[in-house]
Structure 1
C-alpha cells in the first residue's frame, strides 16, 4: 500500500465522491503508483486528478491500444465526409490488398477485426512496428489466419496500420497527419500520434508489473503456444519478439506514433478527445454527428475472440465499452483500453468522456481493474439527479 501519496487536482461540485474513490485506489496501490484521471460531462471538465511522485496533470504516458480510439475517430470523420464508404471493398482503395484471398473483404469488416490479418508469418522488427506503411506493405501479401469475415480476433498491433493505409490511399495523407490537422491541433489535445521532441521531458517511461503467483498459475494453466494466434498478434513468434510492456519506452515508437499502439497522452488528452467527439467544445459542434457516432459504436463483432480467447465486443475500430468493460454505461458507449491499464471512452447518453492513465503496466494487460470503480464513480456523479 502507498505511504502518503497525495491526490492532487480538482473536481467540480457534485464530483467529490470521485476524488474520494481515486484516493482510495491510490491508497491501495504500491508506493511507486502514478496515475491520472480526467472526465468531461457535456464538454465541461469535471474531474482532473493525479497522484504519484513527480507526476502532474501534464505528464505524458504511453497509452498503447487507447491509440486505436484516435485512429478510428479519423476513420469515422472520413466516413462522415463521404471520403470512405464502409461497405466498399478494401481493394477499392488499396488494390494490392487482394492477394491471398482477401479481395472480398469490406472496410466495415476490416474495422471490426474480421480480416484474419493479425500479423505476419515471420513477425515484425521494431522498425517495422514503428512504421504503419511498412506493416501495411507486409500485410498486403500475407495470407489471413482465418477466412476473412468468418470470425473475429483482436488485431492488436496492426489494425491501425491497416486502417491507416486505407486512409492514405483515399486522401493522400497519413492517418497521423489527418488526426493532427482535424483533431489534436484544433483542440490543443495532449494526445499525440507522433510525439514531438520538445515534449519528451514530460514523458514517463513505462514500468513493468510482474504477475502475482496466482496470476502466473492462471496463465500456466492455459498456456498460449509460441505460434498461437495470440503470439502472432502480439508479435512474440518472430526473431525479434516484442516486449509489449516496454514498447512506448522506445523513442522510435513515440516519434512515429503507429496508430495501433504508439500514442502518447495524458488523461486530459484522452478525455478531451472523446469530449470533442460527442460534445460541443469551445463553440465547436461535436466532431461526430449522431448517425456516424451510432454506426461506429454499434456492435459488429461479439462473442469469442480468436486471439483473446475470451468474450469481446467491438464496434468499428472501437471497443463496445459497456459490454466489454462497464455494463453500467449506456448503450452506444465506445472507447478503447490500453495494455498498461489505460482506459478511455465516451458514453454519449450521459454526455460523459473519461480518461485514465497509469505508469506501471497492469498485468496481464488491458484496462486496469481500478477503472471499474473509477468509471462507476464518475458515471454516478454525471447522471445524479
Structure 2
C-alpha cells in the first residue's frame, strides 16, 4: 500500500515498521507522527480510510481511550493555574458527588482510576452516553464498588464524565469546549472532543478487531459472570458499544471524554509536544512532574492484568510474561506518559527524551494495550534515540 508523508533519514526504522504494518501485519489505514526537540521528524500516513478510499494527510479517526489523555490534560491545566486542587475532595467542586459514601473521594482518585466507579449497577437508557447531565447524575448517585483510594481499576467508560464534570464545574465550560479553546485551537490541532458536522466526511470508520482464539481475561469475565464489573461495564452503556454505533454522527458529536476523541497521529503527537518540552504554555514544570509520576501500579481490579497509571495517564507496563491473550502492555521509558486507545492507537510524551509520539489506525487489534503494530514503531523510535529495551517493568535505558 502507498505510504505518503515525510520522514527524517535518521528515523528510517520508524518508516520501515510503518510500511511493514501495512504490507504484512494486517494494517488497513494508519498514520504515525514523531516529534523530537519540538521538530516533526516523522509524519506518515498510508493505506485505506475506507474500501477504495486512500488514507489522506487530513484523514482523522476515532482514537478511543487516547481521549483520556486529553481529558486529564484539561484537569492538570486547571491545577497548574491554581483553580483545581487534585488533593481536594471531589465534593468541593461537585457537591452532589458525596452520595453513597463518596464524600471522601479525592480528585486524584478520579484521575488515578481509584474512584470505585468503573461501571453502573443498573442499565442505562438508549443514548445515555450522549446525555452529559444524565451521566453525571447517575454517577453521583452510584455507590462505589470499592472504598475510593483503596484499589485501582480501569474506568474505561466513566473516566470522562468523572474528570470532565470536575473540569466543567471549575472552568464553567463543557469539557469539549475547554479542550477546544485552551488546547486544540491554541496549538493548531485537528483534535476534537465533539466533532463538528462539517468535519464528518474526513473520518475513517473503525474496523473491529478480528475475534481472538483466546480472549483477554477481562472479556472472559465479562461473558461468563454477569454480576462482574467487566460485565456491568460492557452491558450498561446505553448501546454505545453496539456494532457501528461509535461511528454514528451522534457519537462523533458527543463530548465523550473517556473514548470519544477524533484526531490523527499528528493531532495526538501535537497535543503532547508542549509537554515533551517542559510544559509550554499548558502546564508548569512542577505540574508536569505530577503528570509523569506513577500514582498506582499493580493488579487492576477491572482489567485483571497489571496496569500503571499516573494521574490520568498510562505509564509503561511490561505484561509480556503473562499468557498471550493478556500479554499486551505499553512499553515506553520510565519517564514517559500518555494513553493508548482500544485496538492500539497511542499518544504519549517522554520529557526526558524530548519526544512526542502519535499513532492512529482504523483496523483494531484484539488486545488491551498498545497493539504490536504501534509498539513496533514505538520501539523503533526509542532505538533511533539510542535507547535499549530490557525485559521486566517495561523500562528502557540509554
Residues 204 and 359 in structure 1, CA contact (< 8 A), matched pair in contact too: yes
Which blocks of at least 5 consecutive residues in structure 2 are unaligned? 49-53, 320-328, 388-397
Q: Deviating runs (4+, > 3 A) in structure 1?
A: 214-224, 244-247, 321-327, 382-385
- 2:65 maps to which residue? 65
User: Contact 1:321 / 1:335 at 8 angstroms: preserved in 2?
Assistant: no
Q: What is the 5 A alignment of 1:180-329?
A: 180-215=180-215, 224-234=224-234, 236-237=235-236, 240-243=238-241, 246-279=244-277, 285-321=280-316, 325-327=329-331, 329=332
Cα deviation digits, residues 223-253 of structure 1 (max 9, x gap): 542231112233x257x45426645302112
The 5 A counterparts of 1:44-55 are 44-53=39-48, 54-55=54-55
Q: How does 1:150-169 map to 2 (within 5 A)?
A: 150-169=150-169
Distance in 1, Cα, partners of 2:263 & 2:303: 25
Q: Is the 8 A contact 2:308 2:317 kept in 1?
A: no
Q: Compared with structure 1, are the counterparts of its residues 220 and 248 closer, same or farther at alpha carbon in structure 2 (3 Å cutoff)?
A: closer
1:109-151 C-alpha deviation (Å, 9 max, x unpaired): 1211111011221133452212333211111000111111111
Distance 1:321 1:175 in 2: 27
Specify which of 371, 374, 384 is matched with residue 374 of structure 2. 371
1:14 aligns with 2:17: no
Specify whether residues 277 and 13 from structure 1 end up closer, same or farther in structure 2 by C-alpha distance, changes over 3 A only.
same
Q: Which moved more, 1:224-233 or 1:198-207?
A: 224-233
Q: Which runs of 5+ in 1 are unaligned?
A: none
Q: Deviations over 1:80-126 (max 9, x none)?
A: 00000011100011111110000011111121111101122113345
Describe the shift of the 1:364–1:278 C-alpha distance in structure 2 as closer, same or farther (beyond 3 A).
Answer: closer
Aligned residues: CA RMSD: 2.4
Partner Cα separation in structure 2 for residue 246 and residue 351 of structure 1:
38
SS at match of 2:168: helix
Aligned partner of 1:128 in structure 2 is 128
Asked if residue 137 in structure 1 is aligned to residue 137 in structure 2, the reply is yes
SS in 1 for 2:69: helix
